Structure 1
Amino acid sequence: MGAVAIKGTPEGIAIILRGERADIALQELEAILNSSVSLLEGNRITLEVKVPAVGVDELAKVLGTLKSHGLSVEKIVSDAESVRKAAYALGLKSEKSRGVKPDFALVKRGPVRSGQKVSYEGSIVIIGDVNPGGEVIAGGDVMVWGSLKGIVFAGAPDDHSRRIYALRLEPSLIKIGPYIARPPEGAREGPLKPEVAFVQEGKIVVEELG
């Protein structure tokens, strides 16, 4: 399990720092942001800190790293009083976690090739492409830091509150909970931008991020 997890929430995006050392979590966060920050841009960011002994200096470094990539944190979530005090000192809202079972993400580095299937009961992050014929099935959200051209299913089997994010969203089949959609035939015109798919008024809709 890595030191950084990213998941979609009804409010936007949650970045979760965990493990025993803040410096390791910060290094991993920097690597993820350098890989592709555009997938997170334009979203409301919540920072959930599960790393022990994080004070003002450590929290300021994390916030500075996010800010240098154009990301602004709306609030801090932590059960540690020291973290909440640090957030207050830095002028940020903070709160305790709500005791909900954590939605840890499965992270796969590299492409999902034709004939491959990646499935997990929580959220899935693919750092790479999902090629035609590849399949991703998640009980939570799906984030693809690359092109999504295969089959994707978020919120399996029936959670329609989940979302699908991709730098290039061109799936052959898309499903969120009980809702299913197919893209129109033919190549899309113009440059493709990071997008998110979600259910609205009983159907799957796609919007640009940012």
Structure 2
Amino acid sequence: MKKMQNVTIKGTKEGIVLHLNDQCSYHALKAELKHKLLAHSSLEDEESPIIAVKIQLGNRYLTPEQEEEIKSLVRAQRNLVVDEIISNVITKEAAAKAKLENEIVSATVIVRSGQVLKVEGDLLLVGDVNPGGTVIANGNIFVMGNLRGIAHAGYNGRRDAVVVASNMVPSQIRIADCLNRAPDHYAKQDRHEMECAYIDSSNHIIIDRLQVLKHLRPNITRLRGGF
């Protein structure tokens, strides 16, 4: 009967992928990994280029100490560097953070001058953002009212985030690290058509009709029915 391999080494265009069995003991896994890395390293010479290594853990969870041990085994071999460790398992803290980032937070308020409303996920605001008021979300921002203040969507770097408003007359819009101050004609009139702001392919924030999101961001919201 053929013995099951706890470590499988596969070469790719980007480097090497180590697939680690998630059913065996950690001790057995570490021993086999060390043996196979030594065998692989013996085939390389000092002139060999640096090789990036991705480590696939499957459904195995490693403590920070175990993760560092695995990295050290790889780094101890000639020309190998750890590029990434990938696991299907996440900690409770990471799961809680992901839950927050994917929530739709609704609020029925008026954000007045000097006030800041900030959420980790998407923000659905039924109310106005007055001049001097600020709304911030790690996800998308939907304002069912007048947006006359500042809106910052995707504040942690989500460039696919959008800002939507029933009346889009902002003093400033930010999406991720992009910034757009509203043109003068926006400040001088009410625009009674729902509009959206998004980052286009040229890395600029564009304000357009809401309907364009059906094509640009088809999965923009988890609300039933979408837009």
TM-score (normalised: structure 2): 0.46
If the length of structure 1 is used for normalisation, what is the TM-score? 0.49
Bigger-Rg structure (1/2): 2
